[in-house]
Structure 1
């Protein structure tokens, strides 16, 4: 007879039951089968009929064992052997049992049982512990001296489950999932339901009961499921308030969200606003407005959505008087967050006095592997023989038509072992959008520079080639994706460096002998350059009056000149990508706003300001010269400020650093 406990285990085994349901089935019924065996005897009495086992019931080490084939046959199982797993298998219409000699593990379907003693082989027969067989088959074992009896039921079970997990009164259409089983394999010919409804009309607990009948006429015991029906979901309620009824021009509006939901399940809040004059919408906001710069009435709307997709919105009026607290420019200078941007008059920047400066350079080497920018075949994108500190910059687009990976391979052509290390690294992509890769590689490289990682040393033996920068090839570059990366290397002696591009799955080192140098066919740059670190120190006071510092103008800040080692031709580092600038500004006035303004087109990337990483911009890029990104604000006293950056691939020079006084705070 199958117990209530195993019925519930079966229901969980075949299909997960919703956590909102409570199974209360009963499977107690008459014992339709009885098998009696006796210690040291092969005789088996099954429902009054006598059968002979292949081996006697055997006592070993305090446990009783029965022949697996003989007992399985009485239970109606088919016997087979899985040569791959070396398991003996008993299969019925409802389940499968697997076991093997010497193993305590017995598998029933996907469930794993652990026997107290392991099955063993005796005279060519597999002997299984009688009590373990009883557990595996949900049969009842009783003992009387040397006589032992197994009883089990052939009655079908009426197991079912209810879906979905949450059921709402008057709304949810209920699905009943059939999980009924038949130990004999007989098909079901009839069923009875009590309490079954497709839609439950009221909240509360409902009991649904089922019985099934098989083709032999046997009815299952009733199986019941308790269904918890919830009250119908109510839409959320959108509501908010402002700190006061009227605001001045340039005064920040404080909104308090008062929205609520019956299940506390608001998943989305959408703010918008409109300025309406004489019934005409003249300006809109697609987010929560913080401040208004024109007098008038503004319609502010909040829409909320709950987890079920129900929505509600509310619109309220915010009145702005003609009194001015801050102009738009004053407000932006004071309150735009570091890393965010605001709109400026791009033409007026040219009226701000430019600060003269002189750049100092060290002998740091720099390799730019950016041509061909568009890969159309596998090969070697660049190679050179180098020693000492080297910064590598990669920026390429995959147009080969299949995924490829890019590697930096270092080869030792000398007769002695060469030590080489890698340190700061930053990568963007692979990604379909060039601005994303240029921005993220710069952000991550500058962050790595600020963290000053411990160099990772590698010893390269004579004649050996090594994949020196594995982070570069961590992910494949899929067709129409861009990758951009920076990485620092230091070689104690000369090594041959090659930027290798091969199909995903290929070994770049094994492929080297068959690879050729890629042709340089576009306007982009590849080459080796010196003096790749530039610094300036400015003692002129900044910020007491508006000032600007222009970088990348090709005049005060000229482009590096180097060579293409693959062709021997001179090369110009157009855009100075990969050059690291350090600006030491020794006298920045109190209450000075420092911003960056693009002068050659869009610009993105990052800056280290006094060691802190600032992204340009946090959620976007600088589109053109009408936008400025906030880098830093000084406090109430004069400060020295250090700014470190490198132009981001995909961006444009020149850029202007603006130093402007902030207006006084007002209340």
Structure 2
């Protein structure tokens, strides 16, 4: 009986040693065991000794002549009450009649220095189930052992001593170790585990034995960056549980100016083990650096265990104080006639960059005699300013009257005031038009959307244009989607040829104008061209710019796009909560009722106007969107097929205008008639703003689009009305005044 007890004690001691050895020691144990096996008999006899002093020791401190514990272990099926999850009655080391709990020290510490441990060290004794920490002795709950050259440890044996958190996930059947922000997840009978969500491979497979969950020791130490060392003479493995806190900081200022900037230090620190940060230290920190140069600032912190972090350093570049810009301009002379063009030359300078120029009383010409002062204020990127003013003299002579001067010298894209009440008496260009096959899907009602739902739906094939303009008034963040569904038996190709999208923001007129500008740009560059294929029965999101950013309450979006499909597709335009999935939500959405704005489906939505007679010798006007020369499109409501629709203003219609003979010295301008207008137009392929300084007011403002030279020209214009602006509009053509010296 005594012999049997000696065998068991020896096996347990050896398995303890194998369990706590580092990777290199694991291999040494394996080699030793293989060597031992070569000297053993084929029978189950084992040569043992209960007195280590009488045993022959190998160079690695492992007792020779002991069988591997692998043959001693009987594995059990996984349960939910493994070690460290639900305490097992009697768990500990069974010494016959006594069970020693793992959680409490059992004997006073031997004063021998070979077993003394520091506050952050766990000492695992070789050939023993004893552990030492903070001057106290503990007994491992289950012997550590080696299997197939891999050292295994009961999770609780190290977790309780290291102060980690141990839980069990009943749903995933995973044992979880947590240390601060680190998380390890183990499964029974698996050679892989997860470290902070990333799957990694262990040196061996985990298993359960006698309600203890066994894992490779190195799986824990490597994942948590725990270092250890082996003290061969003292027969112990020293696990370093000291985890230093981590410190860092950043500077909130984009620029630090000597003697001016209060430096914004933003420190960040934490303890991986969750300890409190109790102290910090700065070296080289200054709230305001008095002189320019490069400065190194270092930061470190201390946790409640007394451990300091590694120092973290940043180099801070301090620049010299900025100087204000220098404002300067000149006019081409000091004295001018009334109505004479003034040329301004801006010579302002700055050490880096001038970001704003603010002119006061800068006019192209003056029409009142006497001295007049012009002022220029410039601002640089640092907010520093400089102002200069110059005074010129206007004589009593007149070169041009006000009307003639602005016709000649207003820059293209700028506006000037005139008496617009005379325009209705001008002769109309007696044009005719043809149409190109194009289906306009106008989703613009309800323009202000108060609840989630379907704002429009329609089916179309061939050339299709989308005009979408809506305001979010649901009181929450939403997104808009266009879903294309292929109900055909064959795959359908859908080609996007152009796209202009703007928003979301709170300014309807600005969004409407920007969407048209970007639509023109896509026509110029082809940058929005793309193909997509939709399989039979498939639904796809198209025009995804709409849903790229959520619309806040009060935001407006606006979109123009030309597309082509080789088969009929069903299109559904929806507005839903920004967090919802459009496909799963669609079946539950109801159709929203329209408001006073227009929605509908209109065919032949591209109008081609070609005029071959000479224009410009006398004042003439070409009217658009007036429902007379340019009749409104008639269509149907895609939601309510029995509803008759009139596209008032012809929003969404694209006009291709070609005037073959424009007289020499002709001024071409844009004059709104229905109200304020924000927008642009393409003239001979170039995008021209109606007014670079803002909107145009009807009827007494006009914006310069083009001036012909000294010979006839052909003029091509492309125009579509900007959402949130007003129609009708006129294109005015008139002779320029004679130039004078």
Q: Structure 2 length normalisation: TM-score?
A: 0.61
**Counterparts of 1:96 and 1:563, CA distance in 2:** 62
Matches within 5 A, 1:27-66: 42=129, 44=131, 52-53=139-140, 54-56=142-144
Residue 80 (str. 1) matches residue 166 (str. 2): yes
Residue 298 (str. 1) matches residue 373 (str. 2): yes
**Counterparts of 1:257 and 1:59, CA distance in 2:** 81
**Counterparts of 1:211 and 1:581, CA distance in 2:** 69
The match for 1:596 is: 670
**Counterparts of 1:406 and 1:561, CA distance in 2:** 26
Q: Give the counterpart of 2:343 among 240, 245, 252.
A: 252
| Contact 2:450–2:472, Cα closer than 8 Å, also in 1 | yes
Matches within 5 A, 1:468-507: 471=544, 474=547, 480=554, 484-486=558-560, 503-504=576-577, 505=580
| Contact 1:206–1:226, Cα closer than 8 Å, also in 2 | yes
Alpha-carbon deviation of 1:583? Answer: 1.7
Matches within 5 A, 1:214-233: none
Partner SS for 1:439: helix
Question: Higher relative contact order at CA 8 Å, sep ≥6: structure 1 or structure 2?
Answer: 1
Write out per-residue CA displacement over residues 49-70 of structure 1, whole angstroms, 9 at most, x where no aligned residue.
Answer: 7655544575965x87776644
Residue 648 (str. 1) matches residue 726 (str. 2): no
Q: Which has the higher strand share?
A: 1
Write out per-residue CA displacement over residues 10-33 of structure 1, whole angstroms, 9 at most, x where no aligned residue.
Answer: xxxxxxxxxxxxxxxxxxxx9766
| Contact 1:119–1:129, Cα closer than 8 Å, also in 2 | no
The match for 1:582 is: 656
Residue 627 (str. 1) matches residue 701 (str. 2): yes
The match for 1:125 is: 214
Partner SS for 2:610: strand
| Contact 1:251–1:326, Cα closer than 8 Å, also in 2 | no
Moved more, 251-260 or 126-135: 126-135
Matches within 5 A, 1:454-473: 471=544
Q: Mark the CA change 1:434 to 1:174 in structure 2 (over 3 Å): closer, same or farther.
A: closer
Residue 557 (str. 1) matches residue 630 (str. 2): yes
Q: Structure 1 length normalisation: TM-score?
A: 0.66
Alpha-carbon deviation of 1:251? Answer: 2.8
Q: Mark the CA change 1:128 to 1:331 in structure 2 (over 3 Å): closer, same or farther.
A: farther
Alpha-carbon deviation of 1:640? Answer: 1.8
**Counterparts of 1:663 and 1:174, CA distance in 2:** 62
After superposition, the CA RMSD in angstroms is: 5.8
| Contact 1:302–1:315, Cα closer than 8 Å, also in 2 | yes
Residue 240 (str. 1) matches residue 327 (str. 2): yes
Alpha-carbon deviation of 1:575? Answer: 1.9
Residue 538 (str. 1) matches residue 611 (str. 2): yes
**Counterparts of 1:206 and 1:365, CA distance in 2:** 66
Alpha-carbon deviation of 1:559? Answer: 3.3
| Contact 1:157–1:181, Cα closer than 8 Å, also in 2 | yes
Write out per-residue CA displacement over residues 476-512 of structure 1, whole angstroms, 9 at most, x where no aligned residue.
Answer: 77665555555557787888x6866565448689867
Alpha-carbon deviation of 1:643? Answer: 1.7
**Structure 2: 5+ residue stretches without partners:** 1-116
Residue 355 (str. 1) matches residue 441 (str. 2): no
Matches within 5 A, 1:225-374: 234=321, 236-243=323-330, 246=333, 249-260=340-351, 269-274=355-360, 284=361, 289=362, 291=364, 293=366, 296-304=371-379, 307=382, 311-317=384-390, 319=392, 322=395, 338-347=412-421, 349=423, 353-361=427-435, 366=440
**Counterparts of 2:248 and 2:459, CA distance in 1:** 73
Alpha-carbon deviation of 1:419? Answer: 6.3
Partner SS for 1:595: strand
Q: Give the counterpart of 1:435 among 500, 506, 509.
A: 509
Write out per-residue CA displacement over residues 372-424 of structure 1, whole angstroms, 9 at most, x where no aligned residue.
Answer: 65556777767788776565555555666665857577796xx9879685655
Write out per-residue CA displacement over residues 198-254 of structure 1, whole angstroms, 9 at most, x where no aligned residue.
Answer: 777777868889997979xx7x78987879787796353121323568455523312
| Contact 2:289–2:318, Cα closer than 8 Å, also in 1 | no
**Counterparts of 2:661 and 2:341, CA distance in 1:** 31
The match for 2:229 is: 141
Q: Which has the larger radius of gyration?
A: 2
The match for 1:89 is: 177
Q: Mark the CA change 1:442 to 1:57 in structure 2 (over 3 Å): closer, same or farther.
A: same
**Counterparts of 1:257 and 1:44, CA distance in 2:** 79
| Contact 1:542–1:589, Cα closer than 8 Å, also in 2 | yes
**Counterparts of 2:411 and 2:737, CA distance in 1:** 16
Partner SS for 2:430: coil
Write out per-residue CA displacement over residues 539-561 of structure 1, whole angstroms, 9 at most, x where no aligned residue.
Answer: 22234565432333444333345
Alpha-carbon deviation of 1:255? Answer: 1.1
The match for 1:6 is: none
**Counterparts of 1:158 and 1:557, CA distance in 2:** 73
Partner SS for 1:240: coil
Alpha-carbon deviation of 1:273? Answer: 3.7
| Contact 2:275–2:303, Cα closer than 8 Å, also in 1 | no
Aligned residues: 598
| Contact 1:39–1:58, Cα closer than 8 Å, also in 2 | no
Partner SS for 1:300: strand
Q: Mark the CA change 1:120 to 1:637 in structure 2 (over 3 Å): closer, same or farther.
A: farther
| Contact 2:350–2:380, Cα closer than 8 Å, also in 1 | no
